[in-house]
Structure 1
Amino acid sequence: MSTSNDAPGGAATEQANVQTVIEARIDPDENTEDRTSDIGSEISSNSSVSSSVYEFRIENGRKYQTYREGKYHYPIDERESERLVNRVLDLGTGTGLWAIEFGDEHPEAEVIGVDIVPPQVEFVPPNVFFEIDDIDETWTYSKPFDYIHSRMMTSSISDWKKYIQKCFNHLEPNGYLELQEADLFPQSDDGTLKPDAAIIQSCENVQKACTIFGRPFASIPDLATIMTEVGFEDVVLTKNKWPMNSWPKDQHYKTLGTWSLENYLQGIEGWTMPAFTKGLGWTKDQVQVFLIDVRNEMKDRTIHAYWPVYSIYGRKPVPAPDGTKSQHEN
C-alpha cells in the first residue's frame, strides 16, 4: 500500500513531459457514527486542476490555448470541437452508457463501442454502434478516429504499450486518447488504512490471481509515460480521490463515498470469487468468510481510505510538413 503526500490545496507538477494534477487532501467528518448520506444530488467530476491548463486567449474571434503556447496552433473553441469529433471509439464499452450519452450529446459524430461481450441496452441513438471484438487482437478499422476513450481496462490489457500504440496508430492527427483508470489498492493520507487490513489483503490476492491469469494490474501513472514514449504530446494526468465510504466532511466527497461503498459492496463477490477460486485455489466458503472482514472495513468510517482514480489524455501530433509519417507510427 502506498501513502499519498498531497499538498493541502492540490498540486500540479511536470515529470517526463507529463503535466500531473493531484486532487486536494480530503478532511474527515468528525461524526463517525453517521453512516448515511443524501445522494439526491448528481455526482459531477471534481478536481483541483492547475489554472494554467485551462487559460486561453481570444484571437481574431477564436479561442486558443496558452498552456505551452506555440506547441498547438489550432483553436480550442466549440466550433473547432464540432469539426474534430467525427469518429469516436469507446474501448471496453461495458454497459454502453458512455457511448450512448456521448452519441446523444454529439449527434454529428459516429460512435463505436467495443467490448468482448455485447452491452444489454434496448435504445441506442442512430449514430452509436456496438461491436463484439477482442481488443488484444489485430484492429481492422479502415478509417481513423478523432477521439478514443478507454476506461477501467486494467487488468484486461496484457501489454499496455502495444495497446496505446494501437490507439495512436488509429487516431487522426490532432486526435485525442483518454484513459480513465483506478488504482487497485486504496490509500489513506492519515494512516488509518493499515497495511494488514483485510481490504489490502483482498487487493493483494486479486493482484496475485490476475498475474497468474497473465493480466496484472498496471501502475496507472506509468501509462502517461508510455503515452509520451509512443508519441503523444500535451499529455495530462489528473489524480482524483474516490472515498471508500461517507467518511469525508465535504458533502460532495461524502456523497461520492456513499456511491462508492454501495458499488463495492454489491460487486466485491463477483470480482473476487473467480479470481480467488480459479487463480488461488480457494473454496467458495473460504472466499465468503474472508469477505465478511472486508465488507466490515469498507463500512468503517474511522478508516479514511480512498481509491486514486486517474484521467490521462494526450494528443497525436500533426505529421511533418513533408507528409512523412511520425517515427512513432508502426
Structure 2
Amino acid sequence: MAGTTESEQPLEADVWSDDDVDSGIASLASSSDSITSSILRSREENGRTYHAFKDGRYVLPNDESENERLDLQHTLCLLTFDGRLFTCPAGRDQPIRRVLDAGTGTGIWAMDFADEYPNAQVIGVDLSAIQPPFVPPNISFYVDDLEDPWTFSTKFDFIYGRMLIGSLRDWPLFIKQSYDNLNSGGWLELADVLLELQSDDNSVPADSPARKWGDLMLQAADKFGAPLDSCKKYKQQLADAGFVDIVETIYKWPTSGWPKDKKYKEMGLWTYEDLGQGASGLSLRLFTRALGWTKEEVEVFLVDPKKSGKPSLANLNHDIILLVIDHVHDTYPESLNKLTLVCSDLYFTARHVQYRRIQINMVRYKEADRLGPIVRNGLAPAIRSSHVKARVDHNDSTRFIYSGKRDGQELGLANWEQLENALPAMTGLRDLHLGPHYHFSSCA
C-alpha cells in the first residue's frame, strides 16, 4: 500500500479583507446552466427540500440552492485537480467502456465525463432525481441507495465517488461492493473533504465561530450516523477490501482568499462561497435531528459564523483527500511493472511488456481466505486469451493443471521450468521467474 502525500507545504497568507470576495468571485465566475426547478420525490423540512426516497438517509437538501452549490463545488474540484475530471490512469492502457458515478448529485461530473468520453457508458446513481432531463446520449441516471445490494448486470472499468461524506453510513460495504463490481484492472477514485478546519500558522483560535461550527458539524454527524471525517479511514478500508497500490494525496482548500499563491487564492474564493452558500443547508438537518436544536436556534447560531466568522476564515483551510486505487496490479506498467503473488511457497513475478496475451485463472486456493482477493483474482486477470488457460487443482494448492495452444499446436507442459521457458515466447512477458518447481500435468 503506497504512502500518503501532502500535496503542498503550509500556505503563506496575503493581505486580505472580506471586501475582496465579491469582486474576486465576479472576476472568476463563469456562466452555468440553470438547475431544473422540478424536484422529484422530495419532502420539505425546516424550509428546505430533501430526498423522499430512503427519507433521512442523507444530511443535505436537494433544492435549487443546494444544487447550485454542488455545481459551484464542481468548479472548485476542477481547479484543485488542474482541470482534470479524474487523476487516475483509467483509460491509459485499455478503453473505458463503463463508468459509475457514485452519488452523482446534479450529474455535472457525469455529464462532463460523458462528453469527454462519448464511447463510454456512464451511469450516475443518487438518492435524488435532481439531474437535468437533457443529457448526453451515453449517460443514464438512476435513483437508488448505494448501501443496498448492487444489481448492475455488467461490471465497470472505473468507479468515481466525490464528496460522499454524510451520504454513507457503511463505508466498508460501499468499498466492498465497488471492488466486486469492478472489472479486473479497473480503477476506483474517491475524493472527499475532511471537515476539520485548520490554521497553518495558528492565527485562528480554536474557539473562533468558524472552528466552533466545524466542531459541531463533526459532533452532529457522528450522532446522525454519517461521520464527516470518514475519509480518514478510507485508505485502510480499501486495503482491507483487497484493493492494491492505493495512492492517497491530501490537497488544501483555503477557506477564503487569504493565500498569496494565485491558484490557492482563487480556490479560497470558491471555497468561501461554497461554505457561505452552503452553511445553512449543511447545518440544518444535522443540528435539528442530531443535536436537538430548533430551526431558529440554528439560524441564530449561523449569524455569528456568517458575520464575525467570515473574517475568521482568514488563514483557515481544510483538506480534500484524494485516493486513487487500482483493482489489480497489472494495468499501469509505468509504476506497477511487477505482478507479485504469494501462495504458500509459490512465487510468481513478471515484468509486463505486452498485454492481453495470456490468462491464468486461479480457481481455488487452500489459503485463499487468508491471502485475500488479490490471490482469488489470479495472477494476471487483465492479460486475456481464450487459447491459454491454467487452473489450480482443487485438492492441492501447489499443483496446477495447464493446457493451451500456440499457433494451433497443443501445449503440454510437465513442470514449472518448461512453463518458465514457454511463457515469454507466448506472452511477451520478460524477467520471468517461477519457482520452486511444482508438478504440472497436461489436460489438453
Q: CA deviation at 1:123?
A: 1.9
Matched, 1:180 2:183: no
Question: Structure 1 pair 185/218, CA: closer, same or farther in 2 (3 Å)?
Answer: closer
- 1:109 is aligned to 120
Question: Structure 1 pair 86/78, CA: closer, same or farther in 2 (3 Å)?
Answer: closer
Q: CA deviation at 1:143?
A: 0.9
Q: CA deviation at 1:301?
A: 6.4
Question: Structure 1 pair 301/290, CA: closer, same or farther in 2 (3 Å)?
Answer: closer
- 1:218 is aligned to 229
1:323 to 332, 350, 362: 362
- 1:27 is aligned to 12
- In structure 2, C-alpha distance between the alignment counterparts of 1:165 and 1:140, rounded to whole Å: 14
- 1:242 is aligned to 253
Question: Structure 1 pair 301/252, CA: closer, same or farther in 2 (3 Å)?
Answer: farther
- In structure 1, C-alpha distance between the alignment counterparts of 2:312 and 2:292, rounded to whole Å: 32
8 A contact 2:208–2:309 mirrored in 1: no
- 2:202 is aligned to 191
8 A contact 2:126–2:144 mirrored in 1: yes
- 1:308 is aligned to 319
Give the 3-state SS of the residue equivalent to 1:241 in structure 2.
Answer: strand
Matched, 1:259 2:298: no
Give the 3-state SS of the residue equivalent to 2:256 in structure 1.
Answer: coil
User: What one-letter code is carried by the residue in structure 1 that aligns with 2:361?
Assistant: D
Give the 3-state SS of the residue equivalent to 2:203 in structure 1.
Answer: coil
Give the 3-state SS of the residue equivalent to 2:28 in structure 1.
Answer: coil
8 A contact 2:127–2:145 mirrored in 1: yes
Q: CA deviation at 1:47?
A: 6.8
- In structure 2, C-alpha distance between the alignment counterparts of 1:78 and 1:302, rounded to whole Å: 39
Give the 3-state SS of the residue equivalent to 1:183 in structure 2.
Answer: strand
Question: Structure 1 pair 31/120, CA: closer, same or farther in 2 (3 Å)?
Answer: closer
Give the 3-state SS of the residue equivalent to 2:305 in structure 1.
Answer: helix
Question: Structure 1 pair 297/222, CA: closer, same or farther in 2 (3 Å)?
Answer: farther
- Identify which range, 147-156 or 291-300, moves more after superposition: 291-300
- 1:296 is aligned to 307
Mapping of residues 44-63 of structure 1, within 5 Å: 44-46=78-80
- 1:39 is aligned to 28
User: What one-letter code is carried by the residue in structure 2 that aligns with 1:312?
Assistant: L
CA offsets 1:52-95 (integer angstroms, 9 cap, x no match): xx9xxxxxxxxxxxxxxxxxxxxx69662xx3300000000001
CA offsets 1:175-207 (integer angstroms, 9 cap, x no match): 000001001111111102221122222222222
- In structure 1, C-alpha distance between the alignment counterparts of 2:255 and 2:109, rounded to whole Å: 23
- In structure 2, C-alpha distance between the alignment counterparts of 1:40 and 1:273, rounded to whole Å: 27
8 A contact 1:155–1:218 mirrored in 2: no
Matched, 1:228 2:244: no
In structure 1, the gaps of 5 or more residues are 1-16, 49-53, 55-75
User: What one-letter code is carried by the residue in structure 2 that aligns with 1:28?
Assistant: A
Structure whose CA Rg is larger? 2
- 2:50 is aligned to none
CA offsets 1:122-171 (integer angstroms, 9 cap, x no match): 32001000001011111101111000001111121112111111100100
Provide the aligned length of Structure 1 versus Structure 2.
286
Matched, 1:18 2:29: no
8 A contact 2:101–2:110 mirrored in 1: yes
Matched, 1:170 2:217: no
Matched, 1:84 2:95: yes
User: What one-letter code is carried by the residue in structure 2 that aligns with 1:135?
Assistant: L
2:218 to 204, 207, 210: 207
- 2:68 is aligned to none
Question: Structure 1 pair 174/297, CA: closer, same or farther in 2 (3 Å)?
Answer: farther
TM-score (norm 1): 0.79
Root mean square deviation of aligned Cα: 2.6
Question: Structure 1 pair 172/300, CA: closer, same or farther in 2 (3 Å)?
Answer: same
- In structure 2, C-alpha distance between the alignment counterparts of 1:215 and 1:247, rounded to whole Å: 31
8 A contact 2:121–2:138 mirrored in 1: yes
- In structure 1, C-alpha distance between the alignment counterparts of 2:294 and 2:90, rounded to whole Å: 56
- Identify which range, 32-41 or 190-199, moves more after superposition: 32-41
- In structure 2, C-alpha distance between the alignment counterparts of 1:95 and 1:125, rounded to whole Å: 14
Question: Bigger relative contact order, structure 1 or 2, given CA contacts below 8 A and separation 6+?
Answer: 1
- In structure 1, C-alpha distance between the alignment counterparts of 2:160 and 2:113, rounded to whole Å: 11
Give the 3-state SS of the residue equivalent to 2:196 in structure 1.
Answer: coil
Give the 3-state SS of the residue equivalent to 2:229 in structure 1.
Answer: coil
In structure 2, the gaps of 5 or more residues are 31-74, 331-340, 342-359, 378-444
Give the 3-state SS of the residue equivalent to 2:20 in structure 1.
Answer: coil
- Identify which range, 310-319 or 120-129, moves more after superposition: 310-319
Q: CA deviation at 1:264?
A: 1.2
Question: Structure 1 pair 137/46, CA: closer, same or farther in 2 (3 Å)?
Answer: closer
User: What one-letter code is carried by the residue in structure 2 that aligns with 1:39?
Assistant: L
In percent, how many aligned pairs have the same letter?
A: 34
8 A contact 2:255–2:313 mirrored in 1: no
TM-score (norm 2): 0.60
- In structure 1, C-alpha distance between the alignment counterparts of 2:313 and 2:237, rounded to whole Å: 37
- In structure 1, C-alpha distance between the alignment counterparts of 2:18 and 2:100, rounded to whole Å: 45
